[in-house]
Each structure stands twice: as C-alpha cells, then as structure tokens.
Structure 1
Amino acid sequence: MRVAIGQFNATVGAFRENADRIAALSRDASAKGATLLVLPEQAIPGYPARDFLTRHGFVAKNVEALEYLAKATASLPISLYAGFAEPHPGRGTGVHNAAAWLRGGRTLAVARKILLPSYDVFDETRYFDPGEQVRIVDHEGVKIALTICEDLWNDKTYWRQRRYERDPVEEAVAAGAQLVINASASPFEVGKPQQRERMLAACARRHRVPIVYCNLVGGNDALIFDGRSLVVGKDGEILARGKAFEEDLLIVDVEPTAAGTKAIASPPPAAKGSAETSSPRHPVSPFRDGAPSDEDLDDLLRALGLGLRDYLRKTGFEKVVLGLSGGIDSALTAALAVSAIGAENVIGVALPSQYTSQISKDDAAALAENLGIRFETLSIEPAFEAFKETLAPVLEGRTPTLTYENLQARSRGVLLMALSNELGALLLTTGNKSESAVGYCTLYGDMAGGLNLLGDLPKIVVYALSRYVNRDREVIPSRTISRPPSAELREGQTDQDSLPPYEVLDRIIAGYVVEGRSADELVAAGEDEAVVRRVRKLVRSSEFKRRQAAPSLKVTPRAFGEAWRYPIAQGYDED
C-alpha cells in the first residue's frame, strides 16, 4: 500500500488556507501513486485553537472547510485522513477532537480521539469530549485503525507510569487492525523526538503492526511542532522519517500485517529495556546532567528559529527590535533572530547608562557588526534623570537604591517600546529561564516585549548554545561569553551578587520546576539546604512577574506559562 504523509504548517483559524494546502498535497500525493494521505491532528482548524473551540461560529467554519476539502479532492483516487473539530450538540463540551476519512467528495468515516491529555500545555478536556472506541476502516482490503495523537501514548508495556486505563492501539489490534495510522500535533521539546521513535518502535514491535504517524510542523504561539513524521514497520524498524522543522510530503510503501497475526504477549527484551522513567506528571529535565549534546543544540537552533518565523508571520510582523546590552542573553537572541529572519529584519539598540562599561558598549557594537544588522545607540540618561526629577518631590528624604536600578531598566523598556511602535517591529525580550524562575528581571523593564526566545532556556544552556552558534566563526564576541554576567545597574554589579552560581541554580530549577522534586529530595541529592530553600522562596515569590511576561517559546518538558499554573495569592507552606 502506498501511503503519503502530509506534514504541513497549519495556521489556527485559517480554514480555507489550510484546506487549500491539504488539497494541493492530495494532488501531489495522488500523482506519485499514493492511495492514502495522512494529515496532522486538527489539520483543518489548526492546533491548538484553544477557546476558539468554544465558539460555535469557529467550529461551524471548520466543518465548512472540511466539506470544501472533500469537494476539492472528489475526483482524486486517494483517501484522506484529516483532523478537524467535530460538533455534537447537546452534551458535554459539544465538540470532539476528530479526524475524517474522505474519499470521492464524501466523509466516509470519522475517528474521535479517545485519550484527551490535560497536563503540561494540554487542556483538551476543557474543549473536547472523548471518543468511545477506535474506528477501523477497510482500505484496499486492509483493516486500518484510525487514531489521534495521545491514543498512541499509553502503551502498557512501554510506560512505567501510565496516565490512562485504556490502550486504544491494543484495542484496535484485538479488533483485527493490520495497520495503525495516527494524526498528531506533538509539540517539540529537547529529547522528545528520540522518545517518540522509541515509543512507536516498541508499540509496533509489541503488536506486530506497522504505524504511520503524521505530526504537525510549525509554530503556534509558544508551541513549536517539529514534524519528524514516522513510518514504523511491524518489527519496530523505522522505514521513513519526515524532515525536522520543515514541511514534507513522505511517500512510503507500507506492508500491512497479514490478517490473523497475533500480537506478542510481552515485549522482547529490547522493548522492555527502553521503558521510560519519565511521565507527564513527573518529567525528567533534559539538562539535569549539564549542557546538552550537539544534536540537541542543533534542534534548539532550528526550533527557536521556526518558532520566531511563524510567530512573526502569523501575527503580521516582519521585523524585530531588541536591546543589545553587550551581555550574552541579548547577543544570543540577536544571533538567533538573524539566523531565522535575516539581518535586514533585525534592529539592535544599545541603551547605555553611567554604569554601562566600555567593554559592554564595544561588545554590543561588535556583535551588531558581526551580524550585519542595523545598530542604534540611545543613552537612557536623559530619560532616567527626567524620571528621577519627576519623582523627587515624593521621594524627598529617601535614598532609593533598587527603585533607581529598576527605573533604569524601565527607561530602556519605554524607549524600546517606542521604537517598536514607530518602526512596526516586534520587541524581543531577552531574559532566560534561570532569571525568570527567581525573578531576576524587571517588570516593564527588561521584561518588556512581545516574545521571548530564551525564556525556556536555563543560563547554562544559553552559554552552550552561544558557543554552538560560534562553532564555525565568531558571531558572538568571545569576551561576551567568557566574562561574568551583569545587569550593570550599579557600579561593579555581577549576577552572582544576588544569585547562586548558575550551574547550582540551574540544577535546582531543573529539579524543583521541571521535575517537581521537593526541597528534601534536592537536599538528599546533594544540594545545599539553605540555597535550595532560598531558590524555592524566590521561585514562589516571583510568580506575579511571570504572569505578566511575554510568551516564551517552549523547548523543555515544563516551561513557565501554560504548563506552570501556580497561584499568586497563596499561603501554602511546603515544609
């Protein structure tokens, strides 16, 4: 059976555009001899549509687009498996996360997602009702099980901790399925592509059934979908891989399992040995043991580039502006932006104060020259002095310290937002996950902006990624990477005046934030108790800042934002 996988970049709410893209893929796949085209989860409305799914008009237009697609492909000798939001008025949420089997201008079958994730960034029980059973269709004499994303993620012999009782693949194979196809929208995070391959290979091997898996590609808000669709043979061998972080049309000849083949009662030793210690509730930080591998760093570069490009394209921006402090965070952000959208679309602005060192000024200018971007310098001193003069009557008799440090950062934020408004360029904020975790950032100051590329990267990874950017030539000045980081808001300031060393801080953040470990567990693992409890207190007391932060592109198992939902006003004592 010749199967096509249409790994494409859907835009939320762009129904006609998405349908036209699918129709074009259908024509191409059919011309190459494919008789089945598998598409991503929610390919018609885009994923995740979030609260749009609560609006009847949105769901109705998505159904209209599905009908349009059916008619547009009616004359093609190919079946389509395309994700959409299926209305079922009168009970529950009134919507299913579904996928339609289209052929000859008609919807011949509808599969409904059975396992609805509600963890991490997923909130599907808010929007969808679960399907009741796996749908199986007959195509060219082959029984094909129609599944959707999470339906594949609960193999009882692979996961040590399972979230659901049911295993839809097991049910489908028991009902005679000879091939499993899956429409997916699985977001990227470091290490997840390898995990997907291991899981799908183990599932196929256990059930002696091939799996065709189509994943979404592209960026939608903070989520990045890496594609990497897969075709896995019945013995667990990888037959085909889709491109990473790019659209792709895979054409693969798949040999279904012979009718009557029995699944093996227990997995072979290789499958048992690959069982995951991670689970949705207790993920494992990919950076627990330090800096990531070159493979992971390359993935990060491509993921963040795709996330930025799609965020700009789907929100109507073409250019970005950012402050260049001479430090490593802004340098890496600028380098990533140039790599993603070109130097002609990036504007760097130095905003020195009396505390900005000459080294920082020189490094910011050198970075801009290395990148070939437009570079401006605006002193914040006039604005800062004007603010101080305005405040003087109210602050008479006081000697503000932290207030004036924050006022410097906010002076920069005001100027950068003014440039963003006037130039029509999205302001990129440049903070990292380590700083966000402990509140080492200023509301309406260095936090000002519309998107954060580094917000899910610990500081140790910022350094590693900066060195990786420089692997072929010096893009980021080497001095920027080697010298101690500083906010330069007072004379002689360094980050370590206020924070533990980043290698210590990032280990604690990985354990407490990403893995959900307690202070006692972290201390038992060798961390200093006083430092752990101080960091934990800072994390909790900084929630009000994170709630007002720009979206950060998600690249780890637990990012701040939708995956981190803690109250600001609370009195819980963790000890």
Structure 2
Amino acid sequence: MTERLIIALAQMNQRVGDLAGNAAAILQMRERAGGADLLLVPELQLTGYPPEDLVLKPEFLRRTEEEAAKLVAATQAPGPAVAFGSIVLRDGKPYNAMIVADGGRGLFVTSKRELPNYGTFDEKRVFASGPLPKVFEFRGVRIGLPICEDIWLEDVCEHLAAEGAELLLVANGSPYELDKDDLRQSLVQSRVATSGLAMAYLNRVGGQDELAFDGSSFVVNPDGELVVQLPDWEEALLLTQWKRSSGKWTCTTREQHELDQFPADIYHAMMVGLRDYVQRNGFPGVILGLSGGIDSALSAAVAVDALGPDKVWGVMMPSVYTGSTSVEDAQECAELLGCRHDVIPIVPGVDALSVMLKDAFAGRKPDLAEENIQARLRMVTLMALSNKFGHMLLTTGNKSEMSVGYATLYGDMAGGYSVLKDAYKTTVFKLSRWRNAHKPDDSLGPDGPVMPQRVINKPPTAELRPDQKDEDSLPPYELLDPILVGLVDAEKSVAEVAAETGADVKVVAEMEKLVLRAEYKRRQAPPGVKIGGRNFGRDRRYPITNAFRTAR
C-alpha cells in the first residue's frame, strides 16, 4: 500500500483559445515537476477559462479533443501523471472536465457537476452537468477530483467521502473579488471538517477580459490547519509531500506566502487585468488623456506598473477652462512615472466647431452640449493618435461616475479598456495614497510617489466650464459612494439605503434615478477589471428601458 505521494500543484496562467500554447505550458510544468507522482493544473487549463461561447463552436470542440489527445500521448515521456482541465464530449454534449493521463494513456475522466450560473458565471449556457463523480484510484490512493463549484455546494464532497475518497484535489478557475481569500478558505475548511479529508485548492492566475485571477492556492489538512499558501498574482509550482498517518492522508509540506491586503489586492488586480489584456490583444502600449486629475493619474500609474513606462503615452489636452495647476500636475505625473507626455490643446478644435455650429445653435445659451464637445474632441484626438500609432486608448472613468452617468458618451467614456471601471471614487483615493507610499513587487514602474500630492488633495473637476466641481452636480463622494454601494452592489431600496447611510431620501431617490437612466451609457462602455461582487457588465445586467423605481 502506498504510504507517500508527491503532488505538484501548478498555479498557472492561461490564454483562452490558445490550445497548443496552453498544452505546451502544461508539459513545461510537467518537466519542472519531474520528481512528483502527480501534477495538478487548474480548471480548463487546456482551453483557458472562461471559454464562454467558444464551447458552442463545433470546430473549437473538435480541436480541443485533438489537443487533449496529444497531451495525453505526451505523458509517455518520463514524468509525473497529469490531471488537467479540458472539455470532453459525451453523446454530443460538452462537459467541463478533468482528465488524468500517465504513460501515454488516459487513466480517468471526471466532469463538473455543479455549474455556476450567477454573477459573472453562466456555465449552464454552454456545458452539460456531469453526474455525481467517481473516486479515482491512483497508486493505491483513492482521490476525489471535484472541480471548482463542486465544492461550493455540499453534495459532491459528501458523495466523494462516502465513496471512499482519501483526499480531495480541487482545480479552480476562481476570479478575484474583494475579500474572496477569506471566503475560499472558510469554505474549504468547512468541507474538510464535514468530510474529514485534506483538500488542495488550486487556482489559476492572470487576466481574461474583465476578470483577474489571483491564484492564492492553498492546502488544508484534515485537522483544519492551512499548511500551504501559494502566492497571489504569479505563477507558482510547488511539490507537496503527502503521507498516510493513522488512516488519514496529510500534507507534510509547509509553505506560506503573505497575500495582498486591501487596497494592494485591488491594485494588483488592475495591473494583471490590464497587462494580459494589452499584451494578448497585440497592442504596443496604451495612450490616455492625462488631465492632471486623480483618475487619469492613477490609471497612468497602473499602466506603467503593468506594462512599463515605455509602453504608456500620456496626452494633456487643455481647453480654455483648464487650470494651470492641471497642466503642471499632468506633466509632473508623467515625469514621476517616466512615460511619454505630450500637450495638444483642443482650443482650435473647439473654435472650429463653434463656427461650424453657430447657425444651428443660434438663440441658444451655452450648456451641456458645449461641455461635451470638449470631451468628444479629446476623444477624437486620442483616437487619431491610437489609429496612427497603434496604442490602445485607456479610459479613465471610475465606478461612481459610471453609476450615475457623470461621463460623456463618445467622449471620456471612449476607449478599449478601463482599469477603474469597478472602483468607486473613494477607492480611487485610497489606491492613489497607497501607491504613492508603496510599490508592488512585480511593478515595472518607479520607486516612490507616482503623482503629486496636490492631485490627491484638490477637489475633483471635469474642467468643462468655469470653476466647475464634481460636487456641483453630485453629493460628496464620501456620501455618494455608500449610496451607490447600497443601490448597485447590494440592490437595496431607496428607503433602506437612506436609513443605512443617513442620506436624505430625496437625494437617494435622485441617485437611483440617475443610476437607472445611465444604463444605456454603460452598455456602450469599454470592458474593465472586475473588483467587487457586482460589477457593471458581467454581474449587473439591467434593462435599458425600465420604468421601475424603488422610491414610490
């Protein structure tokens, strides 16, 4: 009877749809894990996660099966057995599965039973649900291989324990959210307590469109002790030692990495999401409007940290309403970051449009239309540079603005990606203060501050009219953001939010009206990294035409 096992945990990045590239990465990990008995890689590591509607494409499924067969055959070369995530077809239906291969042949296949269909997940749209899984016997050890969501409900783990499993290895594709580390560990410890079995929780890393995956893989022993904690945000390979003692399998390896705390975790999610989005979509870098305000300063800092200063291009586009301090602050931001900085005034363009629209606007006082012309001319300028040189336009708006529609459609909302899309304004301030005092370990940016303190201290303004301040149109962000958290993230009524925040009911009702009215704008906004549990786009999907209000 086997008394010891070496299980290699490979916390890996993936590229959705890159079947050959993902397979090659798995085999490279296998070479590195040469002393192990079994190599475990994340959920759908072969296809990339989430594959979304690629699963509905027959050619994608056919080629996935081809690549999986090649990967199985490649295990004939010396090395550990491999448990890898892929898609298998049964009776014409696709299943999210784990395949175990060794010696050039497939040993075992198990399918995901619990398909998440909430928030960012819609796996029931593309996958069939598997049966209650069987236990896999490997070198005399009975192993359960639940897949991600299978452990979030009790049935699968209880079933595997009843079937005689001796330990549980869980492959995951679990995206980052605030406070999710504690939630995962609490969940796993609960399953360990009820099953009496040790569990290895393996998660992927990297960015995929609006999702950032933090890794943070770990192992919990039967007594509930967390004995292994892999790092967050980076690939890692650890050969864990396991032994049978008193009839139970335990992990004897001890490895601990400190995980990011708030707000470092958010900042890292933004870096990872932007880095993989830009690089994997083939952009040479990013360009953004550097206005001298805090949103563009933070966006530029994230971009420089993720991509390097040579890949970031800031453009200041002053109008007649732009203050000299804004011009100075934008330039100092670029100097601190070491990125390119250009100044292109939009005054000639505004003047030209004023002449062009003079007759059409005759008899009308200047209003929001003239303000938005400035924002849209900035977009035209940035997109012209993007088209000419290939850099992706980075949008700099935050979640507070996007919630209430305090943004110009086809103006400052235009772009290819938004790192602040899921960050409220008060979070933007916290992130800016944090980054001025800390540098992420894997940052490509500078040591020290990345923006002048004045950028953080001065009142936010769009500078589209004389002496304009955000608070002319909105409640102070210290009040607005808790209101929005209640209305958007918690889906509470106006009365409930007013009671919780102490805000006037009329103010909350007005914010609810603005949130619902701005839905059409958000449908046309660029993607951006998900931070909380209720982001716009993947999680919160409201009708554009909608007459319902919680305020009577």
Q: Please tell me whether residue 344 in structure 1 is matched to residue 310 in structure 2.
A: yes
Cα deviation 1:129-180 (Å, max 9, x = unaligned): 111112211112111011110011124xxxxxxxxxxx21011111111111
**What aligned pairs does 1:19-38 form with structure 2 within 5 A after superposition?**
19-29=23-33, 31=34, 33-38=35-40
Residue 105 (structure 1) shift = 1.4
Q: Which residue of 1 aligns with 2:287?
A: 321
* Distance across 1 between alignment mates of 2:6 and 2:449: 47
Residue 16 (structure 1) shift = 0.4
Equivalent in 407, 410, 415 of residue 381 of structure 2: 415
**What aligned pairs does 1:262-273 form with structure 2 within 5 A after superposition?**
none
**What aligned pairs does 1:453-532 form with structure 2 within 5 A after superposition?**
453-471=419-437, 473-525=448-500, 526-532=502-508
Q: Which residue of 2 aligns with 1:274?
A: none
Structure 1: runs of 5+ lacking an equivalent: 156-166, 262-292
Query: Aligned to 2:262, what secondary structure does the other structure show?
Result: helix
Cα deviation 1:524-572 (Å, max 9, x = unaligned): 3233211111111110000000000010100111111121110101222
Residue 231 (structure 1) shift = 1.4
Q: Which residue of 1 aligns with 2:252?
A: none
Q: Which residue of 2 aligns with 1:424?
A: 390
Cα deviation 1:374-403 (Å, max 9, x = unaligned): 100000111122222222222222223100
Residue 248 (structure 1) shift = 0.7
Q: Which residue of 2 aligns with 1:136?
A: 135
Q: Please tell me whether residue 201 in structure 1 is matched to residue 165 in structure 2.
A: no
Cα deviation 1:447-467 (Å, max 9, x = unaligned): 111000011001011000100
* Distance across 1 between alignment mates of 2:134 and 2:504: 54
Query: Aligned to 1:295, what secondary structure does the other structure show?
Result: coil
Q: Please tell me whether residue 107 in structure 1 is matched to residue 106 in structure 2.
A: yes
Query: Aligned to 2:86, what secondary structure does the other structure show?
Result: strand
* Distance across 2 between alignment mates of 1:400 and 1:108: 73
Q: Which moved more, 1:242-251 or 1:426-435?
A: 242-251
Residue 319 (structure 1) shift = 0.8
Equivalent in 512, 528, 543 of residue 552 of structure 1: 528
Residue 102 (structure 1) shift = 1.1
Q: Which moved more, 1:307-316 or 1:103-112?
A: 103-112
Contact kept in structure 2, 1:176 and 1:259, CA below 8 Å: no
* Distance across 1 between alignment mates of 2:86 and 2:358: 60
Q: Please tell me whether residue 353 in structure 1 is matched to residue 319 in structure 2.
A: yes
Q: Which residue of 2 aligns with 1:279?
A: none
Contact kept in structure 1, 2:75 and 2:81, CA below 8 Å: no
Q: Which residue of 2 aligns with 1:15?
A: 19
* Distance across 1 between alignment mates of 2:152 and 2:50: 18
Aligned-partner residue type, residue 157 of structure 2: V
Q: Please tell me whether residue 236 in structure 1 is matched to residue 211 in structure 2.
A: no
* Distance across 2 between alignment mates of 1:244 and 1:221: 19
Runs of 4 or more, structure 1, over 3 Å off, are 255-261
Aligned-partner residue type, residue 66 of structure 1: A
* Distance across 2 between alignment mates of 1:321 and 1:493: 26
Instruction: Give the number of aligned pairs.
Output: 528
Q: Which moved more, 1:75-84 or 1:497-506?
A: 75-84
Q: Which moved more, 1:74-83 or 1:345-354?
A: 74-83
* Distance across 2 between alignment mates of 1:418 and 1:122: 36
Aligned sequence identity (%): 43
Aligned-partner residue type, residue 10 of structure 1: Q
Query: Aligned to 2:392, what secondary structure does the other structure show?
Result: strand
Q: Which residue of 2 aligns with 1:125?
A: 124
* Distance across 2 between alignment mates of 1:398 and 1:16: 61
Query: Aligned to 2:484, what secondary structure does the other structure show?
Result: helix
**What aligned pairs does 1:75-86 form with structure 2 within 5 A after superposition?**
75-86=77-88
Residues 1:189 and 1:104: Cα distance change in structure 2 (over 3 Å):
same
Q: Which residue of 1 aligns with 2:152?
A: 153
Equivalent in 357, 369, 372 of residue 403 of structure 1: 369
Q: Which residue of 2 aligns with 1:394?
A: 360
Aligned-partner residue type, residue 426 of structure 2: I
Q: Which residue of 1 aligns with 2:443?
A: none
Q: Which residue of 2 aligns with 1:335?
A: 301
Query: Structure 1 length normalisation: TM-score?
Result: 0.89
* Distance across 2 between alignment mates of 1:338 and 1:147: 39
* Distance across 1 between alignment mates of 2:199 and 2:518: 45
Query: Aligned to 1:493, what secondary structure does the other structure show?
Result: coil
Residues 1:307 and 1:260: Cα distance change in structure 2 (over 3 Å):
closer
Contact kept in structure 2, 1:547 and 1:561, CA below 8 Å: yes
Equivalent in 41, 44, 50 of residue 43 of structure 2: 41
Structure 2: runs of 5+ lacking an equivalent: 250-258, 439-447
Q: Which residue of 2 aligns with 1:168?
A: 156
Query: Aligned to 2:437, what secondary structure does the other structure show?
Result: coil
Aligned-partner residue type, residue 81 of structure 2: S
* Distance across 2 between alignment mates of 1:523 and 1:312: 41
* Distance across 1 between alignment mates of 2:138 and 2:227: 21
Q: Which residue of 1 aligns with 2:8?
A: 4
Residues 1:403 and 1:178: Cα distance change in structure 2 (over 3 Å):
same
Q: Which moved more, 1:560-569 or 1:395-404?
A: 395-404
Q: Which residue of 2 aligns with 1:191?
A: 179
Cα deviation 1:300-327 (Å, max 9, x = unaligned): 2222111111001110113111001100
Contact kept in structure 2, 1:426 and 1:449, CA below 8 Å: yes
Contact kept in structure 1, 2:371 and 2:465, CA below 8 Å: yes
Residues 1:181 and 1:432: Cα distance change in structure 2 (over 3 Å):
same
Query: Aligned to 2:143, what secondary structure does the other structure show?
Result: strand
Equivalent in 392, 404, 412 of residue 438 of structure 1: 404
Residue 341 (structure 1) shift = 1.1
Q: Which moved more, 1:336-345 or 1:389-398?
A: 389-398
Contact kept in structure 2, 1:111 and 1:134, CA below 8 Å: yes
* Distance across 1 between alignment mates of 2:449 and 2:82: 48
Contact kept in structure 1, 2:512 and 2:549, CA below 8 Å: no
Residue 260 (structure 1) shift = 8.7
Contact kept in structure 1, 2:516 and 2:546, CA below 8 Å: no
Q: Which residue of 2 aligns with 1:221?
A: 209
Query: Aligned to 2:421, what secondary structure does the other structure show?
Result: coil
Aligned-partner residue type, residue 206 of structure 2: G
Residue 108 (structure 1) shift = 1.8
Q: Which residue of 1 aligns with 2:59?
A: 57
Residue 97 (structure 1) shift = 1.0
Equivalent in 500, 507, 510 of residue 534 of structure 1: 510
Q: Which residue of 1 aligns with 2:543?
A: 567
Residue 201 (structure 1) shift = 2.0
Q: Which residue of 2 aligns with 1:159?
A: none
Contact kept in structure 2, 1:118 and 1:124, CA below 8 Å: yes
The root-mean-square deviation of aligned C-alpha atoms, in Å, is 1.6
Contact kept in structure 2, 1:4 and 1:250, CA below 8 Å: yes
Query: Structure 2 length normalisation: TM-score?
Result: 0.93
Aligned-partner residue type, residue 17 of structure 1: G
Aligned-partner residue type, residue 481 of structure 2: D
Query: Aligned to 1:102, what secondary structure does the other structure show?
Result: strand
